Structure 1
Amino acid sequence: MNSEDFIYTLALQHIPNLGDTTAKKLIRQFGTAREIFKEKKANLLKIDGVGKVRIQELFDPNHLKNAEKELLFIEKNNITVDYFQENSYPEKLKHCLDGPILLFSRGNIDLSKKKIISIVGTRQITSHGIAFCEKLIEDLAILDPVIISGFAYGVDITAQKAAVRNGLQTIGCLAHGLNQIYPKSHKKYMSDIEDNGGFYTDFWSTDNFDRNNFLKRNRIIAGLSEATIVIESAEKGGALVTADIANSYDREVFAVPGRPTDKFSIGCNNLIKSQNAHVLTSSADLAYILNWEVEQEERSVQKQLFVELENDEQKLYEFLKVQGKSELDTLSLNCNLPTFKTASLLLNMELKGAIRPLPGKLFEVI
């Protein structure tokens, strides 16, 4: 995209109440943002979602002037900009109707051929939530997923710090422009995040910080990933909004169950009870539902001549050896083991190089 088209696209993005869905309709109809601004009002009004008020905003010259100023900020601060019709734009976000037409980023982000998950939850994370989140990411590290979150207090920063410790790429989605950081106390984590991923936002440097921005930001958290995980949540909260958005995008949602009396388990329990989330008790649940496999070269490094298996693992191994390819439920039933435990055991056995998953959620011995 040349600089002139880019300025017009910036201007289109910042028109009040236009929205990304309508902006995309206009671009697809007229080719580029530049052509939209030069189109006759009568033709623009034929597009569904465009009304007279929005038309008047479109022809306000201040939008182009402000776009030119924002372009200077972008260039001065070496900010990367991804346009929704270009290959550099995150693939999963392309499939979201309300995904931003322009996405701004900073850092060392690489989403190509990556497993991507979002981890969200309460800002008032408990010690149990911290322990679960850190263990989950540690166990998933061998699969090299990208960890997406909101860089906020609680679950968000816990997940992103754990990702950095385990050498994983992590991305913070911000509810403001790249000229500031919220919360300010997290400024000390920025360099580590940028070295191991970076930050995404669709807000300008001139956008005032507003708590309502979090709701808009949440669609990017949900849209970037193939699954959203809610670690802890009260009965109401932003994490539940993100889970709802992920479901609307037809993405998988997971929730960590807790005691009914625990305040920050109510939201997760309700997601599970209403069948809007899978139960997540370990990394194995995630790997099983998403059908993630350990890469073949990683398996071969770990495989030993004589694999040491625990008692229950040995029981599963012997059943597979005799019966051949089997599903998780079949293994659970015949080996008299709970399904959640069987899933965890199978992941451990896969990492040891004793078994491998197959299409159709089957398993077999190697």
Structure 2
Amino acid sequence: MNSEKLLAILKLQATKNVGDIIAKKLIAATGDVEQVFKESKNTLHKINGIGTHVTDSLFANENLKRAEEELHYIQQKNIGFSYFLEDDYPQNLKHCIDAPILFFKEGNIDLSNQKIISVVGTRNITSYGRDFCNQLIEDLKDYNPIIVSGFAYGVDICAHKAAIKNNLQTTGVLAHGFETIYPKTHKKYISEVHKNGGFITEFWHDEQPMRENFLKRNRIVAGLSKATIIIESAKKGGSLVTADIANSYNRDVFALSGRANDIYSTGCNNLIKNNQAHLLSSADDIVKMLNWDLSKTSPPKQKELFVSLTDIEQKVYDYLQQNGKQLLDVIALNCDIPVYKLSSILIQMELKGVVKPLPGKLFEI
């Protein structure tokens, strides 16, 4: 795509009163995004749903300045992007009326595989939800799905880490621009996600994680995938919004049921009770509902029986094996490893699946 066309797309994105649905209507009526800004206001007014509030915004001077600044950032940082009328735009998302006309991407993303599932849920994931999420993705790995989530606390980061552990592509959909990391504590996972997939966002580079951005982000999480899986949710929560959006797109929704008195199972139980989600009890439920045929995939890899550890990782492993779950500081003291260095070691061991973090900076085998 040439710079002039990309600049026109950015100008359209920068225009107040023009969302993705109106933008697509303008492009369809004029034949091309660059032509939108060449038409007269009178011609644009003849398009159904286009009034003076839209046309006045279209030709505002500040749009060009903002678009030029963003174009400079994209070119300077070599940011990837996908336009909704080009072939590399994800097919699942292309069918959603309110999908972004343009989104940005970083990493090694390939969304041509149609086995894409979104895994979302509460920020306050319990051990029940964490264990199920890890087992689910491990059981699905022979089908080589792409795991999509929002890179948030709880279920989201659990799903990304499980995908990395099982050598699956994972895509984080962000509610802000690439110059921001949210939550900041997840900075340590960015390089691993880049290696195994990457990040996408519709927000410009300096956009901050505002509340409304998370709600907008959810439609991309739902739209990218064939199915949305809710691991745990309270009675209200962002993952229920994602489930509602997925249903509006006529996509399958699955929910993990839980005990009636568990706070973080209430939302999932209600989805199932109200026929807004399929009951999810194992990976087989997804495979059967989505009609995945293992014979059409590449031969499954033999499960790795032994994990290769470095000498220092083996030292930590042996200590935890002998002493059970321990505090970070206690491990550092007894293994004679600085805390800052131990934290990095434990992350690598966690990604290899040999240690598990617990609340309160505890770790166990």
* TM-score normalised by structure 1 residue count: 0.80
What is the match of residue 164 of structure 2? Answer: 164
Contact 1:146/1:170, CA 8 A, preserved across alignment: yes
Amino acid at match of 1:167: N
Q: Secondary structure at the match of 1:212?
A: helix
Q: 1:301 to 1:133 in 2, by over 3 A?
A: closer
Aligned partner of 2:83: which letter? Y
Aligned to 1:31: 31
Contact 1:230/1:268 (8 A) holds in 2: yes
| Aligned positions of 1:250-269 closer than 5 A | 250-269=250-269
How much has 1:299 moved relative to structure 2?
6.0
Deviations 1:255-285 (A, max 9, x none): 0001111101110011101101000000000
In 1, Cα distance between equivalents of 2:208 and 2:265:
33
What are the superposed Cα offsets for residues 216-256 of structure 1, whole Å, 9 maximum, x if unpaired?
00010000000000000001110000001001111000000
Aligned 1:65-214 pairs, distance under 5 A: 65-214=65-214
- Shift of the 136–300 alpha-carbon distance from structure 1 to 2, 3 Å rule, reads closer
Distance in 2, Cα, partners of 1:242 & 1:115: 19
Segment drifting more, 288-297 vs 169-178: 288-297
| Alpha carbons 1:121, 1:154 under 8 Å: kept | yes
Matched to 2:173, the amino acid is C
Cα shift readout 1:316-354 (whole Å, capped 9, x = no counterpart) = xxxxxxxxxxxxxxxxxxxxxxxxxxxxxxxxxxxxxxx
- Which AA in structure 1 matches 2:142? I
Q: Secondary structure at the match of 2:198?
A: strand
The one-letter code of the counterpart of 1:262 is D
| Contact 1:5-1:32 within 8 A present in 2 as well | no
Aligned position for 2:249: 249
Counterparts of 2:300 and 2:251 in 1: how far apart (Å)? 31
Q: d(CA) in 2 for partners of 1:272 and 1:38?
A: 51
Instruction: Return the alpha-carbon distance in structure 2 between the equivalents of residues 155 and 297 of structure 1.
Output: 27
| Kept after mapping to 2: 8 A contact 1:149/1:172 | yes
Superposition map of 1:1-16 within 5 A:
1-16=1-16
* Cα distance in structure 1, aligned partners of 2:112 and 2:246: 21
Quick check: 2:17–2:57 contact (8 Å CA) kept in 1? no
Deviation at 1:298, TM superposition (A): 5.1
Deviation at 1:165, TM superposition (A): 0.5
CA–CA separation in structure 1 for the residues paired with 2:301 and 2:135 = 23
Alignment check: 8 A CA contact 1:104 1:200 kept? yes
Amino acid at match of 2:24: K
Which is worse superposed, 243-252 or 44-53?
Answer: 44-53
AA aligned to 1:45 is H
Aligned to 1:345: none
Q: In the TM superposition, what whole-angstrom CA distance separates every residue of 1:202-224 from its partner, at most 9, and x where no partner exists? A: 00013233111000000100000
Query: What is the rounded CA distance, in whole Å, between the counterparts of 2:29 and 2:296 in structure 1?
Result: 45
Aligned residues: 302
1:295 matched to 2:295? The reply is yes
Preserved CA contact (<8 Å) 1:133 1:158:
yes
1:49, distance to aligned residue in structure 2 (A): 2.9
- Tell me the residue number matched to 2:50: 50
> Which residue in the other structure is 1:307 paired with?
none
**More moved, 189-198 vs 199-208:** 199-208
How much has 1:141 moved relative to structure 2?
A: 0.6
Rounded to whole Å, the distance in 1 between the matches of 2:129 and 2:301 is 32
**Which amino acid is the alignment partner of residue 220 of structure 1?**
I
Shift of 1:301: 8.4
Deviation at 1:296, TM superposition (A): 4.8
Match of 1:219 in 2: 219
Contact (CA 8 Å) 1:160, 1:193: kept in 2 or not? yes
- Please tell me the residue identity of whatever aligns with 2:64: L
**Offset of 1:103 from its aligned partner?**
1.1
**TM-score normalised by structure 2 residue count:** 0.80
| 1:251–1:292 Cα change, 3 Å | same
Which AA in structure 1 matches 2:17?
N
Structure 2 CA distance, aligned partners of 1:28 and 1:131? 47
The code of the aligned residue for 1:95 comes to H
Amino acid of the structure 1 residue aligned with 2:34: R
Kindly state the Cα deviation for residue 300 of structure 1 after the two structures are TM-superposed.
Answer: 8.9
Equivalent-residue separation in structure 1 for 2:125 and 2:82 (angstroms): 33
Amino acid at match of 2:263: K
